[in-house]
Amino acid sequence: MTPPKPEEYAPFMGNYIKLIVETADIIDLLEQQATQIFDLFNNLTPEKALYAYGQDKWTLKQVVGHMIDAERTFAYRAYAFSRGQAELPGFDENTYVELANFNSRPVQDLAAEFSAVRASNLYFIRALSDQQLSTVAISNGIPTSVRALVYAMAGHAQHHLNIVNDRYF
């Protein structure tokens, strides 16, 4: 799969895509991230999982929960666009995290859920044709290709892994 061109995604998605655009094989990266994210969050103590590096910052449980929400959102958009959906709205990540109650769940369950969602998404992504990957539809008011959503999925996960490593550990 070739990286998307800048006209295939919103500028904010470029922040994620630039983190992984040099990746030789996006599928391999998505698989590696699944293992890395599971291992990182599955091995947290209950106390560490509730750590936030600042006031009004997410706990580590909320970070992985947000990663699950975003993973599902990117995948749903890619799925819908690849099947002919013309437009989908955006989402408010802070509201999603606030309403999800991630802090009440065991962090190991969240780690396993991320792995399961990513595994499901990999089956879907591997089955996409070149034509489906090139499909462009409207996401949050901006033309977005299915390929860009796949790259954004990986880049978004990398973005949060970088933040976790820089600010939580």
Which has the minimum average pLDDT: 17-31, 47-61, 94-108, 123-137? 17-31
Residue 150 in contact with residue 125, Cβ under 8 Å? yes
Confidence grade of residue 64 (pLDDT, cut at 50, 70, 90):
very high
- pLDDT at 22 > cutoff 90: no
What would the mean pLDDT of 114-142 be, rounded to a whole number?
A: 98
Structure pTM? 0.96
SS3 for the chain is CCCCCHHHCCHHHHHHHCCCCCCCCHHHHHHHHHHHHHHHHHCCCHHHHCCCCCCCCCCHHHHHHHHHHHHHHHHHHHHHHHCCCCEECCCCHHHHHHHHCHHHCCHHHHHHHHHHHHHHHHHHHHCCCHHHHHCEEEECCEEEEHHHHHHHHHHHHHHHHHHHHHHHC
What would the mean pLDDT of 17-34 be, rounded to a whole number?
A: 93
- pLDDT at 24 > cutoff 90: no
Q: What pLDDT, in 10s, does the model give residues 45-55?
A: 999 999 999 99
Domain boundaries, the chain: 9-44+57-168
Non-local (6+) Cβ contacts of 64 within 8 A are: 37, 41, 102, 107, 110, 111, 114
> Which one has a higher pLDDT value, 137 or 169?
137
CATH of 9-44+57-168, picked from 3.40.50.360, 1.10.260.40, 1.20.120.450, 1.10.150.530, is 1.20.120.450
Confidence grade of residue 9 (pLDDT, cut at 50, 70, 90):
very high
What would the mean pLDDT of 28-56 be, rounded to a whole number?
A: 97
Residue 46 in contact with residue 57, Cβ under 8 Å? no
Backbone conformation region of residue 141, classed left if phi is above 0, alpha if psi is from -120 to 50, else beta: left
